[in-house]
Amino acid sequence: MSQSAERVYVARLVGTSVFDPLGDAVGRVRDVVLLMRRGNAPSAVGLVVEVAGRRRVFLPLTRVTSIAPGQVICTGVLNLRRFQARASETLAIAELLERSVTIKNGRIPAYIEDLAIEPQRGGTWQVTTLFVRKSERRKGVLGFSRRGEAVVVGLDEVTGLMRRDQLQGAQLVIQSFADHKPADLAAALMEMSPSRSAEIAAALDDERLADVLEELPEEEQISLLGTLRNERAADVLEAMDPDDAADLLGDLPDAQAQKLLELMEPQDADQVRQLLHYEDDTAGGLMTTEPVIVGPETTVATCLALVRKQQLPPALASMVFVVRPPLETPTGRYIGLVHTQRLLREAPHDLIGGHTDPAIESLSADDSLQEVSRRMAAYDILAMPVVDDDHRLLGAVSIDDVLDHLLPSDWREHMDDEEDAS
């Protein structure tokens, strides 16, 4: 391998473009895969490269012909199978940065800010040096401050590199996805080893973890939920949309599901129990119990304010449902729905009850998935009301829930494949 610099710092490598032999960009470096063995220097075996569709794949370092400022050149075609770290592998950026070590000379605590890899005989790469920042006691500061001197040290000058703190570096990963959608973080968790994804889940707040769980396939949902204490798992289920929480609990053993329901807040648990009574492929099993619900005397201006809420899914923000009190599901008698586009054309002080769409018929909780999808297509609508025999609103079925049940379980993988091919 040829390279303009023998020593390569990992943090500086992140974001570097990867080119094939013809000079076409194929992706960007996102991490470096290491093998950590006690008694030996960590060895670098490959790069995690983000390609089109934000899919992350593995590029062995044996197929890298050059590493230079601003570019990495590889041979041949990338294997586009999604990367997932093995139990024996460690991700340099996701797991080692921010790890605490101790500088032997003076027993000074420090934190890793970067690490360097260098080529060895036989084409292998090893971690040779660390860039660390000392943690010094400062007057008036409790504990240690991370504003100490930054120094470059050899591996033999520190201890603690192999010691794993579950939360070390987790916040760094979470912060790197702060501006991404939950689906992006969910995809990243699927690439990590089970132990590492559990560490990230432990460091996420309940709301964010709930959003991420909703984007994971069924098996990964169950696996990740199983890493949490029951009390924490119940809190996360409360933060999930009721229909998603019901789907997840429905896949768990009955005893475990009942235990979690008992730990949830009574109001949240009641909503989920209501949804668990329905088959998955019916309107009742598909619906959410938390659409935008208002009384007929609500003004247009108030309704517009309700659909502007950031956490509201786009499909549910496309309309409001008008009912007689009470406004919680199951509500009083259902009156009708009003499209958000209609609201934009009406005077802000108008009452919502006079603007319902009489053409939209309600669904029954027992209507099949096929009937739901047929009706939504016929009405060209993003969400539909579900009512009981007394014409009380039970909830609403949105188009995203219908598509999740109509498409194959691995539809996201096929979508990534098409994006990569393009």
Q: What is the pLDDT of residues 210-263, one digit of tens each?
A: 999 998 988 899 999 999 999 999 999 999 999 899 999 999 999 999 999 999
Sign (positive or negative) of CA dihedral 325, 329, 334, 340: positive
Please give the mean pLDDT across all residues of the chain. Answer: 87
Of 42, 82, 60, 58, the C-alpha closest to 164 is 42
394 alpha-carbon distance from chain centroid: 29
For the chain, the first-to-last Cα distance in angstroms comes to 30
Cα gap 366→379, rounded to integer Å: 19
Of 37, 167, 156, the C-alpha closest to 100 is 167
pLDDT at 171 over 80: no
Intrachain domains 2-83 and 293-406 with the same fold:
no
Cα gap 73→53, rounded to integer Å: 21
Pairing mode, strands 25-35 and 43-50:
antiparallel
Q: What is the per-residue pLDDT across 114-159, written as a single tens digit (0 to 9) for each? A: 999 999 887 789 999 999 998 865 444 444 455 678 999 999 999 9
Q: What is the per-residue pLDDT across 373-394, written as a single tens digit (0 to 9) for each? A: 999 999 999 999 999 999 999 9
pLDDT at 192: 78
Q: Taking the model in full, what pTM does it have?
A: 0.65
List phi, psi (to 5°) of 38.
-60, 135
pLDDT at 100 over 60: yes
pLDDT at 296 over 90: yes
pLDDT at 340: 96
pLDDT at 365: 96
Cα gap 346→339, rounded to integer Å: 11
pLDDT at 176 over 90: no
Domain ranges within the chain, ordered by starting residue: 2-83, 94-159, 170-277, 293-406
How many other C-beta atoms lie within 10 A of the C-beta of residue 5?
11
Highest mean pLDDT among 116-130, 155-169, 188-202: 116-130
In the block, which residue shows the tokens 């959410």? 288
The answer to whether residues 244 and 331 touch, using CB atoms and an 8 Å cutoff, is no
pLDDT at 87: 78
Q: CATH number of the domain at 170-277, out of 3.40.50.720, 1.10.260.40, 1.25.60.10, 3.40.1210.10?
A: 1.25.60.10
CATH code, residues 2-83? 2.30.30.240
How would residue 74 be classed by pLDDT, with cut points 50, 70 and 90? very high
> CATH topology for 293-406?
CBS-domain (3.10.580)
CB-based contacts of 341: which residues, under 8 Å, 6+ apart?
none
Cα gap 202→25, rounded to integer Å: 36
Q: What Cα–Cα distance (Å) separates residue 10 from each residue in 98, 204, 363?
A: 13, 25, 56
Cα gap 234→61, rounded to integer Å: 43
